[in-house]
């Protein structure tokens, strides 16, 4: 039974890896790869300049402890499916072998991010601690150990049927305390945090001897992880598993007024439908909002006008380019069946929508650039020029695709 459980998990893992390899072809295309390379270069340049003149009045130990505590709470990936609660029920007593594989997979799949954060933070604490790093070795070990013992506690916590929020609150307090004691007091007392988590894990393990496997909870959690991944991939290509959801955002009602009288026709309706679908949509709206916020933070943080211009222009290009997927979802979905119109009218409405989105984002970028570099504020018009050129290119490609479909 042990070998069967391990084989089942390995099979599930291969399926997930195969699916990710398929979607990665669409994610890491030429545009996005270039974006990541430029982002990495901008970050290295900005981070290096910032380290030369670090503000001394900020408690970096506290900020980093809070941040790393959040990243140290790894999700528990079981790769379970909805049908498992029926077909694997007879083997419930042997599921502990399956969960062991799950814990290892959950740790290995996320530890790379932890290592990257560890490397990025090292120069900061090396500089602010007068080029000493002995304490940082302990901090690095905690960053590697804490996530795994946290996963062990998470499994026992879920088996005991306790609430997730209580676990995350407890883990956050214990992890943040351990990291802060290491970074600020530079004391080995931080190891107490590991002992606390291990002690709670053993206590719950003893209490869980007669507990049943939490099928519903584990399956629901795994489905949520899948949905989060599909939402990200959906920026780059269609995902058949993803169901579109809508959110009522009453604060956006002023810009979602229904066209009336002369504007209630095929020339204006698709502009309205694209705007409404974007504003009410849960996934695309949130993704674009996050990209804009990241861009604004980077533009404030970088202190070089040319680099800031490049970053802002690059984000404008990526945002508008990724919105092409939004067109595919809407133009080939329900609306053309409800309101049949020529493809040219649909593309025209989408073009009008993109220009409105571009102007809103461009104005934000120009304001931030003007605040950061008042003497060069007029260069902020480059954001609008890049946006205009990107939209022209996107619309040209859409028209070409429609021509091919007609032929």
Of 121-125, 263-267, 339-343, which one has max mean pLDDT?
A: 121-125
Q: What is the CA radius of gyration of the chain?
A: 25
pTM of the predicted model as reported, rounded to 2 decimal places: 0.78
Please enumerate in sequence order all residues whose Cβ is within 8 A of that of 294, keeping only pairs 6 or more positions apart, or say none.
Answer: 315
Separation between Cα atoms, residue 256 and residue 275, nearest integer Å = 7
Closest CA to 151 of 204, 118, 102: 102
Average pLDDT over residues 55-68: 92
Tens digits of per-residue pLDDT, 127-154?
Answer: 988 888 888 999 999 999 999 999 999 9
* Coil/strand/helix, residue 245: coil
Q: Which residue has the tokens 């302990």?
A: 138
Q: Check if the beta carbon of residue 287 is closer than 8 Å to that of residue 231.
A: yes
- Residue 366, pLDDT above cutoff 60: yes
Closest CA to 64 of 140, 169, 133, 1: 140
User: How sure is the predictor about 54, in pLDDT bands with cuts at 50, 70 and 90?
Assistant: confident
- Residue 82, pLDDT above cutoff 60: yes
Structure-token pair, residue 67: 């941040």
Average pLDDT over residues 187-216: 92
Number of Cβ within 10 Å of residue 3's Cβ equals 8
Separation between Cα atoms, residue 81 and residue 73, nearest integer Å = 23
User: How sure is the predictor about 177, in pLDDT bands with cuts at 50, 70 and 90?
Assistant: very high
Q: Compute the mean pLDDT over every residue in the chain, rounded to the nearest whole number.
A: 85
Separation between Cα atoms, residue 101 and residue 11, nearest integer Å = 12
Q: How many CA atoms lie within 13 A of 361 on its CB side?
A: 32
Average pLDDT over residues 86-113: 90
Number of Cβ within 10 Å of residue 133's Cβ equals 12
What pLDDT, on the 0 to 100 scale, is given for residue 167?
94
């Amino acid at each position: 039974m042990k070998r069967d459980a391990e084989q089942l998990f390995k099979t599930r893992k291969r399926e997930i890896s195969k699916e990710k390899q398929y979607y990665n072809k669409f994610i890491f295309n030429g545009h996005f790869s270039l974006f990541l390379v430029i982002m990495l270069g901008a970050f290295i340049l900005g981070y290096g300049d910032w380290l030369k003149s670090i503000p001394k009045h900020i408690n970096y130990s506290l900020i980093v402890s809070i941040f790393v505590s959040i990243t140290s709470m790894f999700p528990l990936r079981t790769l379970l499916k909805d049908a498992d609660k029926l077909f694997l029920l007879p083997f419930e007593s042997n599921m502990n072998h399956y969960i062991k594989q799950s814990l290892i997979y959950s740790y290995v799949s996320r530890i790379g991010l932890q290592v990257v954060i560890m490397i990025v933070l090292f120069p900061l604490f090396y500089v602010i601690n007068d080029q000493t790093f002995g304490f940082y070795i302990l901090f690095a070990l905690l960053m590697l150990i804490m996530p795994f013992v946290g996963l062990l506690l998470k499994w026992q916590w879920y088996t005991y049927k306790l609430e997730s929020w209580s676990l995350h609150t407890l883990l956050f307090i214990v992890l943040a305390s351990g990291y802060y004691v290491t970074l600020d007091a530079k004391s080995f007392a931080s190891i107490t945090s590991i002992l606390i988590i291990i002690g709670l894990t053993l206590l719950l393990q003893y209490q869980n001897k007669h507990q049943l496997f939490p099928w519903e909870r584990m399956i629901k959690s795994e489905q949520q992880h899948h949905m989060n991944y599909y939402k990200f991939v959906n920026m780059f290509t269609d995902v058949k598993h993803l169901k579109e959801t809508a959110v009522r955002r009453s604060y956006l009602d002023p810009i979602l007024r229904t066209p009336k009288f002369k504007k209630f026709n095929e020339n204006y309706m698709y502009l309205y439908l694209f705007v409404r679908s974007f504003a009410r949509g849960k996934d695309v709206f949130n993704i674009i909002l996050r990209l804009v916020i990241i861009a604004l933070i980077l533009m404030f943080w970088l202190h070089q006008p040319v680099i800031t211009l490049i970053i802002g222009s690059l984000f404008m290009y990526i945002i508008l380019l990724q919105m092409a997927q939004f067109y595919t979802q809407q133009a080939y979905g329900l609306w053309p069946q409800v309101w049949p119109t020529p493809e040219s009218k649909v593309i025209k409405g989408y073009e009008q929508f993109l220009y409105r989105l571009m102007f809103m984002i461009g104005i934000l970028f120009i304001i931030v650039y003007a605040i950061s570099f008042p003497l060069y504020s007029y260069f902020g018009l480059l954001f609008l020029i890049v946006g205009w050129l990107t939209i022209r290119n996107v619309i040209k490609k859409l028209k070409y695709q429609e021509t091919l479909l007609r032929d």
